[in-house]
A = this chain, B = another copy of it.
């Protein structure tokens, strides 16, 4: 007898949290296609096409541009284990959970870590970060382009140039930004970038698109010690994804096929149109939640287009509202992490989730839940504030 399994939700969840986002039907279809072997000549073509599309998305000519067989955190680990050796200095910008995670990852590898921090909800000050790079002359400088724990877009003003001057590699966490705002690996320039499949690309979580430039590869070749990780060792991975096709590990085939489809959909829309769509829907959401009487965590100039942190009003129970949104409206939004737990909601409009009808549905449902929680607001006003901004 087949074991009883809890059924999946019906209707399905509308995913408006910090990721994953809702998967479009084209990606679901690609995901469940019959498998081809990971060494099949046809799969090698699929790998090539995926790499080529990823290069266009990262705006890079980096040969070593691949989806790592792990989630975004595995992409972070790939950068660190390959680019950091024991005793190396690493300067990390941290204004949220994911910057702090980079610092912790580097410390585990025996690096001497210098953190340039900033209050959660603001970006790292580029001038302070640049000064720290100049003072410490680290092997690696790392920061988070889109801080998913707060909704802040990090300005890079002058940071790439400062890293080059100090002969430091620059690593950028683009987990939430890639596909939703411009990421410009060669233009910035940055040496190591990683992302996640489940944010603005609306694929399931499980892959971490990543790219590594020549300066990063030179550091890897000049390492004094072997990379401690076998799984994330780029010198072996580049032989599998490169022309040699040396078997390393079995690629997550279905996930790669799904990612290729997600990338093709992004280019079908056009990157500029996609970036504009994310910004437009964020603006409408901000207008709507403001009309509900809610405050925003992040100053306008630093707000992410794909993730908005809204302050939980005094006297309203964060968890109760989110549970009600899920149970009565089938909508998932995110809560706060760390110092922001209970204090903010994180509303994501990422990839396929960033649609006009979802903005309106979120505002209507959130307004209703707030009213039920005793907070006075008018969901119709929120819709009226958002609607004009949704017109394209």
Task: Show the binding face of A for B, using Cβ within 8 Å.
Answer: 1-3, 5-6, 8-9, 12-13, 15, 17, 19-20, 22-23, 28-29, 31-38, 40-42, 45-46, 49, 53, 69-74, 76-77, 80-81, 101, 104-105, 107-109, 196, 198, 204-206, 226-231, 247-255, 257, 260-261, 263-265, 267-268, 326, 332, 337
Given A23-B35, A71-B249, A231-B74; A8-B265 close (CB under 8 Å)? no
* A237 CA to B246 CA, complexed, in Å: 31
* A76 CA to B255 CA, complexed, in Å: 21
Q: CB < 8 Å: which of B40, B74, B250 contacts A332? A: B40
Given A228-B228, A231-B73; A37-B8 close (CB under 8 Å)? no
With a CB–CB cut-off of 8 A, which chain B residues contact A73?
230-231, 248-250
With a CB–CB cut-off of 8 A, which chain B residues contact A108?
226-230
B35 near A261: Cβ-Cβ < 8 Å = no
With a CB–CB cut-off of 8 A, which chain B residues contact A31?
31-32, 254
Looking across the interface, which residue of chain B has its beta carbon closest to that of A199?
A: B250
B2 near A205: Cβ-Cβ < 8 Å = no
Given A13-B34, A13-B35, A31-B254; A267-B69 close (CB under 8 Å)? no
* A23 CA to B80 CA, complexed, in Å: 35
CB distance from A264 to the nearest CB of B (A): 5
A250 near B72: Cβ-Cβ < 8 Å = yes
Looking across the interface, which residue of chain B has its beta carbon closest to that of A252?
A: B206
* A196 CA to B231 CA, complexed, in Å: 14
B105 near A230: Cβ-Cβ < 8 Å = yes
With a CB–CB cut-off of 8 A, which chain B residues contact A34?
8-9, 12-13, 22-23, 28
Q: CB < 8 Å: which of B1, B13, B22, B265 contacts A268? A: B1
* A97 CA to B80 CA, complexed, in Å: 27
CB distance from A355 to the nearest CB of B (A): 15
Given A6-B49, A40-B326, A70-B74; A15-B35 close (CB under 8 Å)? yes
CB distance from A265 to the nearest CB of B (A): 7
B8 near A36: Cβ-Cβ < 8 Å = yes
A53 near B3: Cβ-Cβ < 8 Å = yes
A252 near B205: Cβ-Cβ < 8 Å = yes
* A104 CA to B248 CA, complexed, in Å: 13
B1 near A13: Cβ-Cβ < 8 Å = no
A-B contact sample (18 more), CB < 8 A, given A3-B49, A23-B35: A6-B42, A6-B45, A8-B42, A9-B34, A13-B37, A19-B250, A23-B34, A41-B326, A71-B249, A73-B250, A77-B230, A101-B230, A107-B226, A108-B229, A108-B230, A198-B250, A205-B254, A229-B229
